[in-house]
Structure 1
Amino acid sequence: MKLSTLKRVPPRWRAWVMRVGFNFHPAFRGTGGRVAYISPDLTHVRVRLPLARRTRNFVGSLYGGSLYAVTDGVHVAMLLTLMERDVIIWDKAASIRYRRPAYTTLHADFRLAADELAQIEQELDAQHETSRRYTIELKDDLGNIYTVVERMVYIADKHHHKQKMQGSPASR
């Protein structure tokens, strides 16, 4: 399902449809993670990564690729559904820091504040593009942090971005 289709879904069903969409999308399914919760206003997403046969590495801990991949695209999807204008959004850069091996199920919480969305809108009005850094901690049920992923997300007004790409030598 395209995210533009999600905007046509009645607001009370959007969180459920988005959760089902993530959990059945082949790329996200391949991570071994599952979206466990999406708030009705789409500003909070909780992802669960269980320690299972398909997420375990050869030493028995959670596979680093799953820890990294389970964070991919969540902020992008949240922003695309919450922005009031036509925008281009993608992950620009990412890094991961492993603090300790995980031999248990981990959770990651993704949050967007209303004031942050307003600030993004203001920056797009002024400069037509912006970037945001998001830090996601993968924790166990007791709150112990196992992994920290930082993602840089690029956001641009769609019209501005198209003009920029048409003028760029790399786009030819």
Structure 2
Amino acid sequence: MKNKIIGWLNQPRFLRHMMNWYGPYRGAGVKIRHLADDFSSATVQMPLRWYNKNYVGVHFGGSLYSMVDPFHMLLVMNQLGSEYIVWDKAATIKFISPGRGTVTAHFEVTEAQLQDIREHTQSNEKYLPEFEVEVLAEDGTLVAKAYKTLYIRKKPMKNAVQ
């Protein structure tokens, strides 16, 4: 029964719904608009509101970062499956232009990226791939670029002969 519950919790539709109600996201105004059924992509938006704007009237940098924080890890870990350990290792965000109005970030993890990860981890070595995502304004202006480094390793096999 426990596995059924865990499986149910990891369904894209349920996960999207729960993340949209998650306190820090609600507080920042972040909304997950799309989460692919196969976890290959996600789209996140954040409108400019009084509670997520900074002193000079544009998107607060912390809110911009929070809207992009977990998605590469979530997409990769759900596509690779339970035999892998996937963690956020490092992150950098570069603010390019002021964020006004609604900003959007689209995440995608391709089959080629997954194959690269599988190849680099097949001998149980850690792998630290970097992913990039752009945060765009409604008119397509680049607001920020975020870079996420993930820590990925195959889980040790239980009862493996050493």
State the match for 1:22 in structure 2. 19
Identity across matched positions, percent: 24
* Paired residue type of 2:151: Y
Secondary structure of 2:122's match?
helix
**Count of residue pairs brought into register by the alignment:** 155
Q: Which stretch shows the higher mean deviation, 76-85 or 148-157?
A: 76-85
Q: 8 Å contact 2:100–2:137 — kept in the other structure?
A: no
Query: Does 2:144 align with 1:147?
Result: yes
Structure 1 unpaired stretches of 5+: 161-172
Secondary structure of 1:131's match?
coil
Query: Does 2:94 align with 1:97?
Result: yes
* Paired residue type of 1:91: D
Q: 8 Å contact 1:6–1:81 — kept in the other structure?
A: no
Q: How far apart are residue 61 of structure 1 and its match?
A: 0.4
Q: Which stretch shows the higher mean deviation, 17-26 or 106-115?
A: 17-26
Secondary structure of 2:54's match?
coil
The CA RMSD measured in Å over matched residues stands at 2.2
State the match for 1:8 in structure 2. 7
State the match for 1:167 in structure 2. none
Deviation sequence 1:130-152 (CA, Å, 0-9, x none): 11111111002222101111111
Match of 2:48 among 37, 48, 51: 51
State the match for 1:158 in structure 2. 155
> Normalised by the size of structure 2, how large is the TM-score?
0.85
Q: Superposition pairs for residues 18-97 of structure 1, below 5 Å?
A: 18-97=15-94
Residues 1:5 and 1:109: Cα distance change in structure 2 (over 3 Å): farther
Q: How far apart are residue 74 of structure 1 and its match?
A: 0.8
Residues 1:6 and 1:40: Cα distance change in structure 2 (over 3 Å): farther
* Paired residue type of 2:37: P
Q: How far apart are residue 158 of structure 1 and its match?
A: 2.6
> Normalised by the size of structure 1, how large is the TM-score?
0.80
Q: How far apart are residue 7 of structure 1 and its match?
A: 6.3
